[in-house]
Amino acid sequence: MFAIMKQTLFFLLFVLASHVQAQNEIVATGRILDAHSKKGIKALIQYRSIPTGGISGKFNDSTFSFGIFGTARYQIKVEAAGYHSTLVTVDPKEINSANQLVRDIYLTPLGETITLSSLIFEQGKSVINAQSFEELDRIAQMLKENEKMTIQLEGHTDNMGSAKANMALSQDRVDAVKKYLVGKGVQKNRIKTKAFGGTQPVAKGNSTESRAANRRVEMRILTE
């Protein structure tokens, strides 16, 4: 009888320990997305604990999910044909209430510019709306994690009004974006700017929709 009770106790302690471990385990999860279309991309995803690399693994998929133990940070490298590779770092401090660390990773197609679709300015000005900060913060994080990457911010307006004023406004807006990124810790020499005014429209006509599409800031990766 004592032996049976002892075995039962050991079993209960094992189940309890396993339950506590499962509760404490942090899961890093996310998707690999095209920065332009937001569609999933199948990629080589390699992760390693930093700084030692003692824990590592890889996936060939458009999603990833792996356990994080302790307080170690992990570096994730993502490579896909036709895209710039990128490095991101995940930190257990960023977990949500479900003990998950959710991090979607956006890849930029080679040779293409990416329109910063969530970037909003006050009408006719270079003042950045607070709704834009999330996208800009993501770009700043990407640049800090990829220390050799340089980008060019390209400003465009619609073709209404003075061409000279439009050129100046497009320059002011990319300068404002650069200032924001530098304020987040990115070295200013890694961010180039170029103004086009209304000389490179992506939509024809003078409808409200066409003019809105032509007012944009694009990002081009120069080196990685």
The pLDDT tens digits of the residues spanning 83-102 come to 999 999 888 888 887 888 89
Chunked mean pLDDT (size 10), the chain, 224 residues: 48 39 72 93 95 89 91 91 91 83 91 89 93 92 91 95 96 97 96 96 89 93 87
pLDDT of residue 111: 83
What's at 2, amino acid-wise? F
Question: In total, how many domains does the chain have?
Answer: 2
Which domain range does residue 172 map to? 113-223
Residues 28, 130, single domain; the answer is no
- Among 77, 107, 137, the domain-final residue is 107
User: Can you give the pLDDT at residue 26?
Assistant: 86
Q: Same domain for 33 and 55?
A: yes
For 100, residues 6+ apart whose C-beta sits below 8 A from its C-beta are 26, 27, 28, 29
For residues 151 and 82, membership in a common domain is answered with no
115 near 139, Cβ under 8 Å?
A: no
The domain spanning residue 32 has which CATH number?
A: 2.60.40.10
- Predicted TM-score of the model (pTM): 0.73
Question: What amino acid is encoded at 139 in this protein?
Answer: I
Integer Rg of the chain from CA? 23
118 and 195 fall within a common domain: yes
